[in-house]
């Protein structure tokens, strides 16, 4: 019998075990960030879809001769939450009174809508009116009166 060999060997050596753990750790280190990124992309897509649905419902009310709703509750969407668990934000602009100061603004500080703002505060759950603000960059916004719906950082 050669030296160093055992009969009926049933376990793993420490080197084999460490090698397997290193491989698993490396694969997890690659997979987890990709998974988080994929989940975030899906959350953004859901928020965009939700804002499109709400926009269509508001536009249907206005096209049917109704006034712009005062809140999302008026169209049955008051408790609707974005993918991050925050309520969607709706700011109607009063007819004939111009755009309020709290309206969302582009990098030139020009309001991005003329009738109402509708947006999700994004992953961080906070926002500021100028889209260039740090806490507004991850917001999902409706801009150009519905011509753009997407991430504020891409507007």
- Say what the pLDDT of residue 6 is: 56
Digit-coded pLDDT (tens) for 92-132: 998 777 788 889 999 999 999 999 999 999 999 999 999 99
Q: What is the pLDDT of residues 18-65, one digit of tens each?
A: 999 999 999 999 999 999 999 999 999 999 999 999 999 999 999 988
Rounded to 5°, angle at Cα 101 from 143 and 134: 60
Burial of 112 (0-12, 13-18, 19+ CB in 10 A): buried
Structure confidence at residue 1 as a pLDDT band (50, 70, 90): very low
- For residue 5, the model assigns a pLDDT of 57
Say yes or no to pLDDT of 150 above 80. yes
């Amino acid at each position: 019998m050669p030296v160093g060999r055992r009969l009926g060997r049933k376990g793993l050596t420490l080197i084999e075990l460490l090698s397997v753990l290193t491989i698993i750790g490396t694969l997890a280190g690659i997979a987890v960030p990709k998974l988080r990124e994929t989940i975030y992309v899906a959350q953004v897509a859901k928020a965009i879809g939700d804002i499109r649905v709400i926009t269509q419902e508001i536009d249907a009310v206005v096209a049917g001769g109704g006034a712009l709703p005062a809140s999302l509750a008026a169209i049955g969407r008051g408790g609707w939450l974005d993918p991050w668990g925050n309520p969607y934000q709706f700011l109607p602009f009063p007819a004939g009174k111009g755009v309020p100061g709290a309206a969302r603004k582009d990098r030139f500080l020009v309001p991005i809508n003329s009738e109402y703002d509708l947006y999700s505060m994004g992953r961080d759950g906070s926002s500021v009116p100028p889209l260039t603000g740090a806490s507004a960059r991850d917001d999902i916004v409706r801009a150009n009166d519905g011509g753009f719906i997407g991430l504020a950082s891409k507007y």
